[in-house]
Homo-oligomer: A and B are copies of this chain.
Amino acid sequence: MQLVRSPKQLGAALRRFRRDRKLTQTQLASRAGLRQATVSQVENGLETVKLKTVMDLVHALDLEFVLQPRTKGSHKDLEELF
């Protein structure tokens, strides 16, 4: 269960789950109807990826999002500024 507060965290979480499932980017891309290159971009934190692309990956990995109020200990991820 992974917190996702930024595209970078999303990419890292997706990569962890993909590896847990012993899939390559190419295999995941095939399942999700995407290109391997696109999977790579998302896993590397591309901010402007489309929500549909993200959801396709989430579904292909048999995952789901939960949207919830922000938990405490919040102000340590200021990795927004690049």
Main secondary structure of the interface of A (DSSP, over half): mixed
Q: Are B48 and A51 in contact (CB under 8 A)?
A: yes
Q: Check B52–A63 contact: CB distance below 8 A.
A: no
Question: Are A66 and B65 CB-contacts (below 8 A) given A48-B50, A51-B48?
Answer: yes
Set of chain B residues within 8 Å of A1, measured between Cβ atoms: 66-68
Q: Count copies of this chain in the complex.
A: 2
Task: Beyond the given A58-B67, A64-B71, please list 20 additional residue pairs across the A-B interface where CB-CB is below 8 A.
Answer: A1-B66, A3-B64, A4-B64, A4-B65, A4-B67, A5-B55, A5-B58, A5-B65, A10-B65, A17-B67, A47-B52, A47-B55, A48-B51, A50-B51, A62-B69, A63-B67, A65-B65, A65-B66, A65-B67, A66-B66
